[in-house]
């Protein structure tokens, strides 16, 4: 995907792939004329409310527990600025640039619905920092679902805080000046709009959907390699049998496995060597397929949220005939549940992979040399990488604890049920990274097992995957520093183009 690509916000719903294109590949984000018209209509409603003196939460009043304090005139602009400064109180390591860019993208999509009331120059300022590579430094911790992350992003529009710019961390004011941009002037409701809603958890979750999609495809490839290396009984993937349990994901995984293993001499020569394989070998369609179904569910939830109006209050109608409605659309329960469920699913993908890779190194069940090395004893072989995988599985079990079940009371009893959706999305990111490393270890071990099965021919897909790894990692003849081998295998799993180039028929 080239940097010249442009994502246009118009009337059609956007997909998670659009957010990923902007966040990771540097695609430019622009609003169509109809999107700008929606933004300006909502802002005109805000101006009408301010002129009339009507009390409307966050437009002409204080925020949270201060919602009954009426404000007017210059106080409204000052409230917006103060909102950003006071809410920018996150802690911990900063988000990666792509994570912050994903949040920015989701926020702009939210404002383009034309229900928030944010000024056009503020949206233009957000587009400028996004499209010109000015990325605010955002502490990762401190959100109960919203507020702190967007506040740290938004203070950069004021020339406050630090940003990543041209490979360096510099003052926001310096980066704005280098691009010929002026700090934005806020008006009524702008500050509340900028910190409100669910763009943080939604943007982060869009990146997670990309990673989960790719890892689930790789899990089929690598699981098929382990199945082949352990001389599995292919009848378990029989199309007629699989069709008797018609979960969509399961059907797809079984189709993938049959295609990956097609033409395998190893599988053909292993028919009948055992009556039944261990569950971690024969249940790949059932387990991987269930994770795919959870991914499909999470995708629906997250994309629905991405295209929703998630501000409070929301502005309906026109300046001549409007309604201001206080409600709870910023509550991110749908995204939080989706991220939690996907974290559980991906923890299971790592768990079954760890069980398969353990069988590969165990001579009692593998039928291969102990720890996949020719001269065990003087060589430890692949013994300890299984420990690493077990550790990562244990961490994923901890990360699979649902964030959404936590609840705390904030804002003087005003906000007394919280989704913790941003925490859910961030721990999903960590679970996905652990899963990538576990699959990389299994990939390494399955490829090493293939060395002991030559000169038999491998499956159409599994053989290609083996050769791909061998372009970067040589066979393991004797003990050597193993960490770089794992890193090389993991880098293959991070590159979406390799999956398409090597295994074009995989879904």
- Residues annotated as catalytic are 57
**β-pair type (321-325, 168-171):** unpaired
Closest CA to 311 of 10, 487, 59, 22: 59
Residues 6+ apart with CB under 8 A from 376: 369, 370
**β-pair type (139-141, 91-94):** antiparallel
CA distance 357 to 385: 9
Closest CA to 28 of 51, 2, 67: 2
Task: Fill in the DSSP letter of residue 410.
Answer: B
CA distance 122 to 124: 5
351 is written with which tokens?
């768990």
CA distance 442 to 149: 36
Count CA within 13 A, CB hemisphere, residue 241. 11
Identify whether the C-beta of residue 60 lies closer than 8 Å to the C-beta of residue 47.
no
Q: How far apart are the first and last CA of the chain?
A: 20
Sign of the Cα pseudo-torsion (117, 81, 58, 61, in order): negative
């Amino acid at each position: 995907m080239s940097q010249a690509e442009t994502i246009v916000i118009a009337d059609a719903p956007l997909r998670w792939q659009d957010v990923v294109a902007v966040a990771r590949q540097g695609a430019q984000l622009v609003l169509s004329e109809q999107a700008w018209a929606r933004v300006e209509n909502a802002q005109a409603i805000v101006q009408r409310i301010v002129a009339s003196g009507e009390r409307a939460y966050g437009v002409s009043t204080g925020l949270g527990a201060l919602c009954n304090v009426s404000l007017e005139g210059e106080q409204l602009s000052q409230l917006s600025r103060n909102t950003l400064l006071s809410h920018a109180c996150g802690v911990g390591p900063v988000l990666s640039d792509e994570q912050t860019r994903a949040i920015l993208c989701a926020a702009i999509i939210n404002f383009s619905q034309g229900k928030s009331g944010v000024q056009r120059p503020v949206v233009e300022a957000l587009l400028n920092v996004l499209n010109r590579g000015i990325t605010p430094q955002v502490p990762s911790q401190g959100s109960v679902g919203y507020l702190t992350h967007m506040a740290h992003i938004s203070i950069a529009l004021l020339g406050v805080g630090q940003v990543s710019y041209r490979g360096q961390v510099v003052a926001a004011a310096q980066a704005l000046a280098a691009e010929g941009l002026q700090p934005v002037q806020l008006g009524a409701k702008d500050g509340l709009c900028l910190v409100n809603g669910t763009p943080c958890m939604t943007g982060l979750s869009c990146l997670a959907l990309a990673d989960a999609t790719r890892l689930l495809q790789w899990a089929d490839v690598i699981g098929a390699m382990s199945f082949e290396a352990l001389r599995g009984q292919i009848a378990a993937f029989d199309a007629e049998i699989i069709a008797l349990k018609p979960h969509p994901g399961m059907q797809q995984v079984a189709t993938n496995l049959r295609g990956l293993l097609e033409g395998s001499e190893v599988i053909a020569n292993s028919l009948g060597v055992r009556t039944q394989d261990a569950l971690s070998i024969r249940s790949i369609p059932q387990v991987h397929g269930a994770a795919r179904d959870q991914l499909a569910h999470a995708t629906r939830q997250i994309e629905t949220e991405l295209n929703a109006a998630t501000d409070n209050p929301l502005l309906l109608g026109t300046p001549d005939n409007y309604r201001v409605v206080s409600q709870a659309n910023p509550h991110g329960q749908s995204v939080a549940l989706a991220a939690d469920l996907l974290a559980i699913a991906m923890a299971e993908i790592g768990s079954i992979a760890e069980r398969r890779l353990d069988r590969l190194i165990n001579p009692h069940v593998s039928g291969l040399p102990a720890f996949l090395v020719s001269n065990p004893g003087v060589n430890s072989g692949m013994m300890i990488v299984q420990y690493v995988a077990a550790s990562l599985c244990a961490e994923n079990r901890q990360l699979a604890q649902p964030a959404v079940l936590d609840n705390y009371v904030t804002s003087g009893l005003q906000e007394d049920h919280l989704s913790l959706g941003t925490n859910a999305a961030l721990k999903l990111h960590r679970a996905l990274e652990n899963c990538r490393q576990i699959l990389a270890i299994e990939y390494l071990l399955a490829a090493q097992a293939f060395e002991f099965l030559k000169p038999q021919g491998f499956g159409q897909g599994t053989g290609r995957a083996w050769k791909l790894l061998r372009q970067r990692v040589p066979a393991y003849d004797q003990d050597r520093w193993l960490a770089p081998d794992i890193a090389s295998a993991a880098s293959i799993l991070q590159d979406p183009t390799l999956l398409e180039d090597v295994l074009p028929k995989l879904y």
